[in-house]
Amino acid sequence: MPLLRSNTADKFIVDRRKPHRNSDVARAVRKTRDRLSQQVGNLDFDRELLKLHAGTMVRGAAVIPLLVLAVAAAGLLAGVDKQISVWALFTLICYSIVAFMARRVERTEAAELNPVHTRRDFLIGHSLCGLGWAWFAWLGCATCQIDQFQGAKAVVLLLAMAATAIMASSLRGSLLATFVVPVAVYAYAETKFWVPVGTIMVALLVAALPFLAYIARHLNRSSLILLSFRSEKDALLAEVETAKSMSDEARRRAEDANLAKSRFLASMSHELRTPLNAILGFSEVMANEVLGPMSNPTYRDYARDVHDSGQHLLDLINEILDLSRIEAGRYQLNEEPVMLLNIAEDCCHMMELKARNKDIRIVQDFESALPRLFADERAVRQITLNLLSNAIKFTATGGEVRVRVGWTAGGGQYISVKDNGPGIPEDEIPIVLSAFGQGSIAIKSAEQGTGLGLPIVQGLLAMHGGEFELQSKLREGTEAIAIFPLARVMEELPALPTKTVAAARRR
């Protein structure tokens, strides 16, 4: 049998079975992410990449200059002429220019940068550094004590290329702008000797340049993806803040509307009950002909109809007020030890006459010796009467209503009211559990209610910490179960010894 639970008495039903909204949102976010990560020529991202490149160059400004100084010192110790000192000074000046440009870009606001001009300036600075490395690749050492001087230069170029590929990956084309000319100069210089080792080093440099450029391009793409994620995060945070402000405003309006509704019901309850009591009293006097007989029996029937309609309206007002107090948290529970069996039995006797008029049999299936519950007796009676009233109302003539009271698997207690009526379609159960909600069978029935009985039951059970379950199958009947938790069950204390037993124990 299908089982649905509802812990609220909200009249607005949200269909959570349709995942299309979440999938549409996820698809939109994915499209935005792909668009942001793959978009070429995005000025905002270009500015951010330039700022990132400037920060990297400033923080790593001493890496390659230290390599240049180390190479110059080693060359002087190895017997290279003073030309290597001039080369080192020129290369350091070039890298100082790049560092100065990076510091200026880092201090400039991203919105004020011109991406085209800034990128051009950076590439020019890296090209100047490339001229310094080309000079180094052309240096020779006929009198130095290093046997493999050309191989040592290739190793230094490889180190510089690797460092540049990592540090300048945020600027596309910086590696090629720096080392295409040095590698070409080194290859041209080696053509004079055609030493096998030199040829291998040329091949290594030529192969390393596109490989390191490939790595730099992937690092650049990773930086772009990170920037897109950050941009997406900022946009989502802005949307969340906007949604939060809208939600706060909607909640404030809802609270104001709820307060206005409570005030209206509090004032109108008195204004409506006062004339209703007069209508009920006078119509009952007229229907019973207390002051004398009516010559026209139709008037007597009209008086009964007026009394019944007034009583229905009074019941509706009482139910609306009860539901409003429950929703507002102002329903005060008068908790005391109660016997669930006794309350269920009394309610069955109270509904016996109504059931007998429809030829419906109420079957009581109670477990014996249930301990007391710590609950509000009026609320428990209202829960039981609402469930019995619904079962009798929608059970056909000659049907049966079975009332069970017993233990739950968790140690609590429950009241179950099961009928063999027409049942409720599965898609209409959320509607039945909502405030003022009625199923198609209830709408077609001659005994239409207000649709507040089950929401009141849910609210009262929630105040007791319990649960409400509605099990139904079309053309097989409906079972409503009110469950009280284990915390509400009171343990029975042992009986006190009588005077005779106490005296016998003293003996």
Residue 258 binned pLDDT confidence (cut-offs 50, 70, 90)? confident
Q: Which residue would you say has higher pLDDT here, 387 or 258?
A: 387
The pLDDT of residue 494: 53
pLDDT tens by residue, 405-447: 999 888 899 999 999 888 888 888 888 887 777 766 655 554 5
The pLDDT of residue 15: 39
Kindly report which listed range (89-103, 218-232, 343-357) carries the lowest average pLDDT score. Answer: 218-232
Q: Judge whether residue 461 has pLDDT over 50.
A: yes
Q: Judge whether residue 403 has pLDDT over 90.
A: yes
Residues of 178-216 as b/e, b for ≥16 C-beta within 10 angstroms? bbebbbebbbebbeeeeeeebeebbeebeebbeebbeeb
- How far apart CA 391 and CA 458 sit, in angstroms, is 16
Q: Judge whether residue 350 has pLDDT over 60.
A: yes
The pLDDT of residue 417: 92
Query: What average pLDDT does the chain have?
Result: 79
% of the chain surpassing 90 pLDDT = 10
- How far apart CA 347 and CA 439 sit, in angstroms, is 25
The pLDDT of residue 6: 42
Helices 83-107 and 115-138: crossing angle in degrees, nearest 10, is: 170
- How far apart CA 133 and CA 120 sit, in angstroms, is 20
pLDDT tens by residue, 265-279: 666 666 777 788 888
Q: Which residue would you say has higher pLDDT here, 21 or 176?
A: 176
CB 185 within 8 A of CB 226: no
pLDDT tens by residue, 39-53: 445 666 778 888 888
228: left (phi over 0), alpha (psi -120 to 50) or beta: alpha
Q: Which residue would you say has higher pLDDT here, 67 or 76?
A: 67
Close Cβ partners of 471 (under 8 Å, ≥ 6 residues apart): 1, 2, 3, 478, 479, 480, 481
Q: What are phi and psi of 474, to 5 degrees?
A: -60, 130
- How far apart CA 219 and CA 171 sit, in angstroms, is 10
DSSP 425: -
Q: Which helix (H) or strand (E) element contains residue 403?
A: strand 400-407
Token output for 109: 């606001």
The pLDDT of residue 11: 34
Q: Judge whether residue 297 has pLDDT over 70.
A: yes
Q: Judge whether residue 316 has pLDDT over 80.
A: no
The pLDDT of residue 92: 92
State if pTM tops 0.75: no
Close Cβ partners of 350 (under 8 Å, ≥ 6 residues apart): 385
- How far apart CA 480 and CA 415 sit, in angstroms, is 8
The pLDDT of residue 171: 85
The pLDDT of residue 110: 77
